[in-house]
Chain A
């Protein structure tokens, strides 16, 4: 168990809807990263939050947005859902955002989103 929890575990939405996914970081971790994993692919970096501010972003459109709260829990919001957004969404927490500590990422078990 990594101590990182995500909710919900599964979600079904229809195209055009909006969705919010939640992540509770491991205790003491101030950095959270979100990844999208489509079927048959590796996880793709969406963005990272450090102390409540976006600290880096991958190649995802603005309809993917996030929040980090003072207790370091986090949300991923996706607006105007598209069929291609169907994927496993993974949250990972770490103690520090610097590249050197990336190996200390602790992943949650993910939210499986299906867009119909």
Chain B
């Protein structure tokens, strides 16, 4: 079983739609959680950290459920520029980030 699992998608949504991604992790000792965004074959870029209390950054909302060991990302009012791969990332405190395989989002006009 992978340490971090994501639905690979693709999620094809129209502009203006709301879309949600989930991610599960297996290591209950995981300490920190993040969503990264990656455009085609470019470097991953930090989108937002994920806190137990949930956090919001504009159209993006991230939630963490430690009891069920899953993380979610909600994108409201999708833009064409949101098309990318979204990587769920977990820090287990072993000096390395563990990345999921990513969920691909395609926003269509």
Contacts and interface: CB of A to CB of B under 8 A. Distances in A.
Interface of A: 2, 33, 35, 40-45, 48, 55-56, 58, 88, 90, 97-100, 102-103, 105, 107-110, 112
A100 B32 contact: yes
Chain A interface mostly helix, strand, loop or mixed?
A: mixed
A112 B100 CA distance: 20
Contact of B100 (A42, A45, A48, A103): A42
Given A56-B96, A97-B95, A109-B42, 20 more contacts: A33-B95, A33-B96, A40-B101, A41-B101, A42-B4, A42-B102, A43-B44, A56-B94, A88-B41, A90-B44, A99-B32, A100-B31, A102-B32, A102-B91, A102-B97, A103-B46, A107-B43, A107-B45, A110-B43, A112-B41
B97 A45 contact: yes
Contacts of B95: 33, 48, 55-56, 97-99, 102
B96 to A, nearest CB: 4
A98 B34 CA distance: 16
Most chain B CB atoms below 10 A, which of A40, A102, A105: A102
B91 A42 contact: no
A109 B40 CA distance: 11
Contact of B43 (A42, A45, A109): A109
Given A99-B32, A99-B91, A99-B93, A45 B98 contact: yes
